[in-house]
């Protein structure tokens, strides 16, 4: 019995490839022991993504984050104190002025423009501010475009052509509104961010409009097949 157990242990060990100082099980594709480098290895991998100087051996910052030192007395400030609304996966935003992050978080175009005017192209935050302003302008343009359409339903349509025209208007409006939603415009326009319920509720309201317009588009599409044509077919 004891011999059988020993053989099984030996077989188990033989089944695994020993790579470096950790055991790797080929059948499950998993390491059986932790990487001896541990978290230190993980942090060393992060170094090239972080602009601040770092001591490779000790894996510690050798200076405090300049963004927090310059902009606020709070060294723990993160994303303008809005960690729920904002994300910073690569840790790159820390070097962007906190005032810029706050202006973006509240959708304050004038403030972002004012901060941008004081930045040079090499400054951290310059590209972000510029990209954000472009996005706001694009969202504004989309909003103005679907506001200008003034589509109506097919209730009063008497011909195929009228129904077709309304269906075209509705499908254009739906496409523009969908682009507005997909671009997450409610998360950058001040009116949506600062309204009751915030961006999420504003976006849900816009989605409700799309649903309503889709119902009307389907009705128009149906009417195209039912209503007579304005120009009767010419006789042979």
Give the interface with another protein as residue ranges (CB under 8 A).
Answer: 143, 147, 150-156, 186, 189-192, 194-197, 201-202, 204-206, 208-209, 211-213, 215-216, 219
CA-based nearest residue to 189, from 142, 231, 120, 123: 142
Q: Which residues contact 212 (CB under 8 A, 6 or more apart)?
A: none
**Min separation Cβ 60 and another protein, Å:** 43
Distance (Å, whole) CA 14 – CA 11? 5
Residue 99 vs 192, nearer CB to another protein: 192
Indicate the residue among 10 and 204 with the shorter CB distance to another protein: 204
Shortest distance, position 152 Cβ to another protein, whole Å = 6
Q: CA 88, 94, 95, 101 torsion: positive or negative?
A: positive
Q: 20 or 211: whose CB is closer to another protein? A: 211
C-beta of 54: minimal distance to another protein in Å? 43
Q: How near is the Cβ of 67 to another protein at its closest, in Å?
A: 30
For residues 65 and 173, which CB has a smaller minimum distance to another protein in the complex?
Answer: 173
């Amino acid at each position: 019995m004891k011999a059988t157990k020993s053989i099984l242990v030996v077989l188990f060990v033989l089944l695994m490839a020993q790579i470096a100082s950790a055991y790797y099980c080929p059948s499950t594709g998993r390491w059986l022991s932790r990487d001896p480098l541990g978290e230190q290895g993980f942090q060393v991998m992060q170094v090239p993504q972080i602009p601040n100087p770092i001591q490779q051996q000790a894996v510690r910052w050798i200076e405090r984050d300049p963004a927090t030192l310059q902009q606020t007395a709070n060294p723990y400030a993160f994303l303008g104190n809005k960690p729920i609304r904002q994300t910073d996966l690569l840790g790159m935003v820390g070097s962007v002025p906190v005032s810029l992050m706050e202006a973006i978080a509240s959708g304050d175009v004038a403030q972002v423009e004012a901060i941008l005017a004081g930045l040079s192209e090499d400054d951290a935050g310059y590209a972000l501010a510029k990209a954000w302003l472009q996005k706001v302008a694009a969202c504004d343009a989309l909003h103005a475009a679907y506001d200008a359409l003034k589509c109506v339903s097919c209730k009063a349509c008497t011909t195929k052509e009228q129904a077709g025209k309304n269906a075209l208007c509705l499908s254009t409006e739906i496409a523009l509104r969908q682009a507005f939603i997909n671009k997450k415009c409610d998360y950058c326009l001040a009116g949506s961010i600062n309204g009751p319920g915030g961006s999420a509720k504003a976006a849900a309201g816009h989605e409700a409009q799309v649903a309503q317009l889709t119902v009307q588009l389907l009705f128009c599409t149906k009417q195209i097949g039912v209503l007579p044509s304005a120009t009767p077919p010419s006789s042979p």
